[in-house]
Structure 1
Amino acid sequence: MTTTDTETLLEQEPAADKDGEASVLGACMLATPAYDPVADAARVIEDGDWYRPAHETVWAAITRLHGQGQPTGLPMVVAELGRTGDLERIGGRVALSRMVEAACSSGEVEHYAALVHGYAKVRALQAALGRGLQRARQTAPDAVTDTVRAVQTELDYLAAGDREADRHFGRLGADLHAHLESLESPQQAAAVTGLVDLDEALMMLAGNVIVVAGRPGMGKSALTLGVAIANASSGRPSLVHSMEMGRREVNNRILAARSRVGLRRLLKGGDAIEDDDWTRLARHVPDLKALPVWMDYSARVSPSRVRHRIQTITRETGQPPLVIVDYLQLMETDQRSSRQSPYERVSEISRELKIVAEETGAVIICCAQLNRGAESREGKRPQVSDLRDSGQIEQDASAIILLHREDAYDPYSARAGEVDLILGKNRNGSICTVTVAHQLHYGRIRDMATVNGD
C-alpha cells in the first residue's frame, strides 16, 4: 500500500455502526421490570464509545435514570432530556421513537453493545494511526526511533484496552483471602540501595517512583549510581539513563567507587594513574562486566523510551529492572510540544513515569534539582517544597529523598564527610533522616559503618 493509499484510507469516514447504536438505545427504552437491557449494555459500553453525539446524549439520560432506580421507557427519557434541555438537540421525540422502532431483541443487546464498543476501538486505532502519520510528517531524521516508540506506546495502550481495565476492577472481598495468604511470606523489596539503614527505612516496592533531590554538587549522581551497582550486585537488573554525564564520566565514577582509585586520577588518565591503581582497577573489571547493568547515554529520553528499555530488559532477564533517571528535569515529553511551560512539561513527565512504573512493575529512581530556597534558610536544610518546576513530582513520588551536606556550605564543619538523606515523603515507612558518609573523591556514598571498607 502506498503512502497516498494510506492517507486516503485514514481520510475515510470513521468506522461506526449507527444502526446498531440506535438498536441498543431503542432496546433500553423498552425495558420492563422483568428485563433490564441497560445493565447488559452498560457492562460492555464505555464512556465515549458512541459515534453520534446524539446517541451519547441519549445514553447519558438513560444511565442517569437507571442509576436513580427510575424506569427508562420512552416517556421518562423524553422527560429527562427535556429537563436538561437536550431534547430538541437530539432530534426530539420523533428521533427517540425511531430508535424504539429499531430496537433489537432482548437476546441481541449484548451483541450490538459489543459492536458499539468494538467500532469505538476501531476509531481509536484509526485516530492513533492518523496521529502517527502526522508525527511521521513532522519527525526529524535523527528522531525517527523516538517517534516510533511514541506511536508504539499508544498502540500498546490500545492493545491492552479492556484486559488492563478488567485487571484493576473487582469487588474488594474477591482477593482478600489471597491477600491474607500472601502475608504469610515476608514482603521482599523489589530493589535495594546497598545502604543498610536506607533500605530499612525505604522498602522499595514494584511500581514505586523514588525522587532523589538536592542542589548541584550534593552527591545525587554518586548516590544513584551506587544504588544501581549495589542493586545489580544483589542479582537484580539495573538500568541507568544518564542524560547529564557521558559514557566516559560514568565509567570513571563507577571504577573509582569500586576500586577506590581517586576520581581525579581517572579523569586525568595517563601518568596520573599509578601502577597500584591499575592493579586495583583490573581486579574489579571482571565483576563489573558481569553485572546486570544496562546504560542509556542518550541526551533525549522520554517516558516511552524508558518503558521500551524496561520491556527489553524484562524480556531478557525475566524481571523488571531498577531504573535510574539522571535527571528528571532534563527529560522530554512524548508529545514534544513547544507550547508547554516547564511546569506542564515536568508535570506530564512525572505522571507518565508513575504510570510506566505501575504498569511494568519497575522501581524508578529519579534525580531532581531543587531551587535555591534552602540556601536562604537557616541551617540550609532542604524541604520537599523546594522541588523545582512542579508540585506534581511530590504527588506522584512514593518517596522523596533530599540530600544535605553541611560541609558543602562549611568545609570546616564538624560533620564533614557526612550526608543526610532526608526522607521528606515515604509511603512505605516513616519520615526520618538517614546519615551516611560521602567519599566524593571516589565518587561514592557509603554506610557510616563501612566507610573504610572496599
Structure 2
Amino acid sequence: MDNPVSNEYRQVPQDGDAERAVLGSIFFAVKSENAMVEASAILVPEDFNKLANQTIFKAMQALVDENRPIDMLTVQDKLNSMHQLENVGGMAYLAEISESTASSANLKHYANIVREKSVLRKMIDTLTRTMSLAYDAAEPSEDLLAQLSRSIDTIAENRGDENFRKIKDVLQEYQANLDEAVKNDSDVVGLSTGYPEMDKITHGFRNDQMIVFGARPAVGKTAFVLNIARNVAKNEKVPVVIFEMEMSATDIVGRLLAGEGSIDSNHLTTGQMTQEDWQALTLAMQSLAQMKIYMDDTAGIKINQISAKLHQLERDLLSDMTQEERIQNPHPIGMVVIDYLGLIESNNSESRQQAVSEVSRAIKKMAKELNTPIIALAQLSRGVEQRTDKRPVLSDLRDSGSIEQDADVVAFLYRDDYSRGDSEDGDGDPREEQEAVPIEIIFEKNRAGARGTATLMFNKPTFKFNAMAPLYRNDMNAGAPDVSPGW
C-alpha cells in the first residue's frame, strides 16, 4: 500500500484567488458598504488564510464602522493609520486586488469558497492538536474524545450561517406549525407522555424544552420517567436516550420489562416466575426490542461527556438516514432522560451550587442544539419535610435556583403515604403492603402553558404508572386542576 504524503509537505486548504476576489468585489461594488455587509455575514477576518488579506478585510470593516466609503485610497489611508500598508504589500498589492475581478456579482460565491477552506483548516488544526494530546497520553481518552466532539460541533455550528432570522421567515415557520396543529386536532402538539391528564397540562413535551421532575428520595421519580421514556419510544416511535447514574443498564431493562409486561419485579429478581409471568415476559421482550431506546449507565459522567455522546449519536442516526429523511428531520433524537441532575459532574466549578448551575445551563443548551426535549430529575431539599403541607414548591429544588430559571417545565412528585411516613421505600419496594398508591404530579412551572396537577396510580411491584380509575378519583374527591399561568 502506498504511504500517504507526510503532512509536513502538504499545503493547508486555501484559495488565494478567491480571497483576492472577495476583496476585489468589495472594491468594485457600487455600494461598497452593502457589499461589505454581505461579506461580513459569511466571513470574519480570520477566515482569510493570507495575513495580508486578513488585515485588508479588517481595514474595510473599520471604514464601514466609520461610515466612510471603501475604495483603494480610503483603504490605503486606513492601512497607513494602522501602520500596516507596507506589511500587506503596499499600493501594488491593493492594485492587484482591484484587478482580480471585474464584477461584484459573485461576491457571495467567492466568500463561501473562502469560508469552506477556513473550515477545513480549523478541522486540521483541531485534529492535529487532539493527536498531539493523544500522543502525550496526559489526559483520559474519554476527556479527549469529549473535547474533540465539542470542537467539531463548534466548527459545524459556526460555518457562516446568518445569526439573525428575518421575521418573514419565522412567520412562515409559525404558520406551518399552526397549520399542523389545526390538522392534528388534538391538545397534544409535542411528544405525548402517554398520560392524557399530564398531556392536558403540558400539551406534550416539545423540542428544545428542558423538563425537570423533582422529588424527595424514594418517592418513585426514576420509575416515573422510565414509564414516560417507554411510552414515548413505543407510541411516538422515536429514539429515546436514557442516562442513568445510579443503576446499571440491566437494572433499567428489568424495570422497563416489569412495566411493559405488568410483571411483579420481585418475581423477576428472584426468578420465581409463574407461567403467566413467562408469557408476559416474552411479549414484553419482543415489544422492547422494537423500541429505539439507548442507555448509558456511566457513573460520575461529566456534562461535556453527555453532550459529546448525544452529538455523536445524532451523527450516527443521521448517517443511517436517507438524504430526504435528513432534510425532514435533521435532529433525530426524540427525547433524552437524565437520572439525575445532581450526580452529573461539572467541568470546572468548585462549589456544589456552581456545579449544578453549570450542569443546568448545559442541559438547556443541549436541548436547543439537539432540538429535543430533555428530562432531568432533581432532588429536593430537606426543608420540605419541615412543613405541614409537604407538597413541594419551586424553592425546594436542591443546590441551585438556576434549575428553576433554566427549565421550561418544573413538576414535582408527591405521595401522601410517603409524606405521612407510611412507606419505607417508595421507589417500588414490592414487599410493601399497599401495592398501588396515587402520586400527584404537580406542575409548578410551565413556560408554554398553565400550572396544574395530574394524579396517576403507581403500581409499586411492577414499577408502572397508570391513569387513575374514575371510581378511585371520586373517592379522593379530586377537584379540577389548577390552571393558573405557569410562567
When normalised by structure 2's length, the TM-score is 0.70
Aligned to 1:91: 83
2: CA distance between counterparts of 1:391 and 1:135? 37
Mapped contact 2:32–2:69 kept (Cα < 8 A): no
1:298-447 matched pairs, under 5 angstroms: 298-299=297-298, 300=301, 302-312=306-316, 320-331=333-344, 337=347, 342=352, 345-377=355-387, 379-411=389-421, 417-447=437-467
Q: How many residues were matched structurally?
A: 427
Deviation at 1:27, TM superposition (A): 7.0
Paired position in structure 2 for 1:242: 244
2:138, 2:3 → 1: CA distance? Answer: 21
**Cα distance change, pair 56–245 in 1 and its aligned pair in 2 (3 A):** farther
For the aligned residue pairs, the C-alpha RMSD in angstroms reads 4.4
CA distance in 2, matches of 1:233, 1:347: 33
Bigger mean CA offset, 47-56 vs 322-331: 47-56
Unpaired runs of 5+ residues, structure 1, are none
Q: Distance in 1 between matches of 2:369 and 2:273?
A: 48
Letter paired with 2:280: R
Bigger CA drift: 57-66 or 310-319?
310-319
CA contact (8 A) 1:257 1:443 kept: yes
Q: What is residue 123 of structure 1 aligned with on the other side?
A: 121
Offset at residue 247 of structure 1 (A): 3.1
AA paired with 1:446? N
Partner of 1:49: 47
1:45-88 C-alpha deviation (Å, 9 max, x unpaired): 2375356575565344133235xxx5345787799x7xxxx976
After superposition, what is the alpha-carbon deviation per residue over 1:365-416, rounded to whole angstroms, capped at 9, x for unaligned? 2222334343445523333344445555444433222223333331359xx9
- Cα deviations across residues 109-136 of structure 1 (Å, max 9, x unaligned)? 8266445434432332233213422442
Contact kept, 8 Å, 1:259 with 1:281, in 2: the verdict is: no
**2: CA distance, partners of 1:15 / 1:32:** 31
Aligned to 1:64: 65
- 2:261, 2:415 → 1: CA distance? 24
**Shift in CA distance, 18/326, structure 1 to aligned 2, threshold 3 Å:** same
What corresponds to 2:283 in structure 1?
286
Q: Do the aligned residues in 2 keep the contact of 1:190 with 1:205 (CA within 8 Å)?
A: yes
The TM-score, its normalising length taken from structure 1, stands at 0.74
Cα distance change of structure 1 residues 95 and 314 upon mapping to structure 2, 3 Å threshold: closer
Distance 1:450 1:256 in 2: 24
State the identity as a percent: 24
Secondary structure of 1:286's counterpart equals: helix
Structure 2 stretches lacking a partner, 5+ long: 326-331, 424-435, 473-487
CA distance in 2, matches of 1:366, 1:140: 32
Partner of 1:252: 254
Task: Measure, in 2, the Cα distance between the counterparts of 1:345 and 1:436.
Answer: 33
Q: Measure, in 2, the Cα distance between the counterparts of 1:18 and 1:436.
A: 66
* Distance of aligned partners of 1:260 and 1:224 in 2 relative to their CA distance in 1, 3 Å threshold: same
What SS is found at the alignment partner of 1:374?
helix
The answer to whether the aligner puts 1:107 opposite 2:103 as a matched pair is yes
